[in-house]
Chain A
Amino acid sequence: MPSPRPPLAKAVALKSLELAVRFWPEESRHWGQALLAETHEIAQPLDALFWVLGGATVFLRSHLSHLFMLLKLPPGRTTAPLPTGNSGPRFPHNSRLVTAIVLLAISALLLLPSGREATRIVSSSWNDFNATRSDVRVVERLAAKAEQDRDARQLAFLSQCEPDPDLSEKFANRAVALDPTLFWIYASRFRRPETHVNREGLRRLQESDPDNAYVHILAAEAAMTPDFIRLPAAPDKLAARIGPIDASPSHEYWPEWYRQMEQALHASHYDSYSQRHRELSREGWLKTPEVPFSLVVYSFWSPFLPNLGQIKRYVDKKISEAQEEAAAGHSQQAEQTLQDVALFGQRMTDGGHTDFEQLGAFEVARRGQEALRNFYIQSGRQDEARAAAARLQQIEMAKEDWRNKGIARGQSTWGVFRKRAVLVQWTACFALMIAALTLLSLVLLEFRTIPWRRFRRANWLACRLADFGPPAILVLASAFLYAYRPFALAVETYRSTVAYNADAPDLIWQLGPLGLAHPSIRYLFQPSGQAALWLLFTIALSVCAAAIVIRAIWHHVAHARHA
């Protein structure tokens, strides 16, 4: 006669405990079975349910104690007894607990804000400071928040960071709509990328700051853009900033280019907005430190530098025009033209804050002043010639002074940081390599995918890596953070500066050397390198899967034969 069906509560209790017994740790499963057997004897369904609830706590305790036992054993070992003799596989000396503690210490070290920033900046340098897709997503998320908060300056900062020209333009438009004094933001994305010119932005720039020579120089560049885009892409970022110096404006675009340069010559001041750009980058980064460093670098590089070659070409043209005027007997006009050129150079020297602008400005001022001095000498005006010569000497001295202070300071900063950068890159590289090997060893040991008895040497190597890998990574991670300290300090100083300081060392000179990572490291972060890595990973996984399947089939066949 079949036994009567138990009440629902008891049936649930029995089923739950049966399920728990199935997942009970091997070494204490008989206690689960004991609890289950007793449940059958309990007449009251509610009592049975409470009994099983108590059983659930025993189940949890058994798992905890099992886990603790596993933690006390080395990676790869289970609670099952070891085979006698020397036939079994080798295991590491350190327990899982020790390994886990060391790995946790490494994670804590690298996950602290300073460690996180160091890893972010250095890994970004391996990708040549290029933005990844996830970087861009961060900017878009921040832009949505800035839009919600109606934060014009933050939108302007994100416009400087955003590599996509259309999105950048959208952020810039919103920023200017919210705060019209931010009109200069249009200059930051002029020809970024090289073939892109935001003509509407340029128009608004000209409207807002018509007396700025820099704006007219940008307009002259825009007039020549078809010539630019026919040229091969600039080989590096620096060349992209300066533009192709030897490109000469073709006849077709000449009148507009010349008209704009004429307006630049007569404009009352020169301001490339570089101070405002830097201040905005600093402020934005300080406000949202989560902005990926690749995009902060993008923001640093965003101010467009005028094409110095074209400015020199224009100045030479003006000087030759003045010489022609002088030859034609129009001395007054010639003098005026040369004075305009010299003043233009002077205005650029006063208003240009970057090294490249200074370089061009001194050259323009020197050429103008030299031509003026020669003109006075030829005209027999000795006093004016002497005054022009004195001004020329002043310009030469200022240029030399700037070369000694600015360039030399930049070069020495670069040299100091270059040495540290080598240390940072090598420690990071070694730490990564050892981490990858250690992780592989731990995975192979834990999942027992390899019949270690047949691969004794590999077994020995995996055990050594599992024992010494984590402490080695800890030492290398500490060395990495120690070597990175000057860079962290430079970033901190940059962020904490209240106002822009032209005399402070440029952050690009300090962090730039990090970009000189070994080509093999950079290769790993390029798309082709990552594709190769994924291919290797897929092959390794496939080999592991095939090995498991073949092993299972082999065992099955051997078992069938034995039976």
Chain B
Amino acid sequence: MGLRLRISRQTLNLLEALLLQPSSWHHGYVLSQTTGLASGTLYPILMRLEKSGWLETRWEDTPAPGRPPRHLYRLSGNGREWAREELRAAQEIKFWKPAQGKV
């Protein structure tokens, strides 16, 4: 496992959202709408996940005209495995339950 993370319910919700389409790149605002997390909560979690090696980030290649490129996120290869493990463990101890069905 990567660096130890403080796994909160909000983090588990985000991991679940990222695991729905694990190979696709996600936008911050879309993640915020999917998980119901405010930007002030979402971004510190994203920052932590990136720092711990769970998350891959990149900038959009072709931004819409007149707009800055957007930042994109997806779980790294290891990150996906670790995320699944964490979600399973959290479910087992009934700390968290999935909102989007079984992961």
A interface secondary structure, majority:
helix
B40 to A54, Cβ gap below 8 A? yes
Question: How many residue pairs, one in A and one in B, have C-beta atoms under 8 Å apart?
Answer: 62
A-side contacts of B66, CB under 8 Å: 3
Q: Which of A25-33, A82-90, A328-336, A469-477 contacts B (4 or more CB under 8 A)?
A: A25-33
Contact of B29 among A30, A51, A56, A58 (CB under 8 A): A51
A-side contacts of B71, CB under 8 Å: 30-31, 33-34, 37-38
Range for the number of chain B residues in contact with chain A: 20 to 34
Range for the number of chain A residues in contact with chain B: 20 to 34
> Is B20 on the interface with A (CB-CB < 8 A)?
no
B70 to A31, Cβ gap below 8 A? no
> Is A35 on the interface with B (CB-CB < 8 A)?
yes
> Is B101 on the interface with A (CB-CB < 8 A)?
no
A-side contacts of B60, CB under 8 Å: 37
Q: How far is the CA of A51 from the CA of B60 in the complex (A)?
A: 20
B68 to A36, Cβ gap below 8 A? yes
Q: How far is the CA of A366 from the CA of B69 in the complex (A)?
A: 106
> Is A53 on the interface with B (CB-CB < 8 A)?
yes
B-side contacts of A40, CB under 8 Å: 67-68
A57 to B27, Cβ gap below 8 A? no
For B46, the closest partner residue in chain A by CB is A31
Of residues 11 to 52 in B, which have CB atoms within 8 Å of A's CB atoms?
27-29, 32, 38-44, 46-47
> Is A234 on the interface with B (CB-CB < 8 A)?
no
Q: How far is the CA of A54 from the CA of B47 in the complex (A)?
A: 14
Contact of B70 among A38, A51, A52, A53 (CB under 8 A): A38
B40 to A53, Cβ gap below 8 A? yes
B-side contacts of A50, CB under 8 Å: 38-39
B39 to A54, Cβ gap below 8 A? yes
Pairs A-B, 3 closest by C-beta atoms? A54-B39, A54-B40, A34-B71
* 9 chain-A/chain-B pairs, Cβ below 8 angstroms: A28-B47, A31-B43, A31-B46, A37-B63, A37-B67, A41-B29, A50-B38, A51-B29, A55-B40
Known: A31-B43, A31-B47, A31-B71. 11 other contacts (CB 8 A): A30-B71, A35-B39, A38-B29, A41-B29, A42-B29, A53-B40, A54-B40, A54-B41, A54-B42, A55-B39, A55-B43
